Amino acid sequence: MSELKRDVTLLVICGLVVLGIVLLALIFLPSTFAWVVQLFEPGVGLKMASIIGFFVATILFIVFAIFAGDGLLGEIQFMIGGFLLFYLIFTVMIAWVF
């Protein structure tokens, strides 16, 4: 019976520690967001995002081409369409998020 009591006590202590960490995070969260907003305020413009998106998509599709094996020549038309779609998505997401 004492082992069960010890386990319950340990569980309650761990729960209180987690609750304390969550409360501290909620207290300091607004100041953290203000710091993040201030740090990333200027952001990345669409011009820089398109450059970054191009290189990310190019590197990704080089990796895809390396692992495509023998099917590279048969799949090139799909890779071109996929590259353009990935380039568009990466550009928009980088400009939007950053």
pLDDT tens, position by position, 21-44: 888 877 877 766 666 666 656 777
Tell me the one-letter amino acid at 9.
Answer: T
**The domain containing residue 24 runs over which residues?**
1-41
pLDDT tens digits for range 61-95: 888 888 877 666 667 788 888 899 999 999 888 88
Q: The whole model's pTM is what?
A: 0.53
Residues 9 and 29 in one domain: yes
Cα 36 off chain centre by: 16
pLDDT of residue 35: 64
Residues 51 and 97 in one domain: yes
Residues 50 and 91 in one domain: yes
**CB 52, CB 44: distance < 8 Å:** yes
Please give, one letter per residue, the 3-state secondary structure of 32-84. Answer: HHHHHHHHCCCCCCHHHHHHHHHHHHHHHHHHHHHHHHHHCCCCHHHHHHHHH
Residues 13 and 61 in one domain: no
Residues 47 and 91 in one domain: yes
| Tokens (6 digits) for 78 | 């799909």
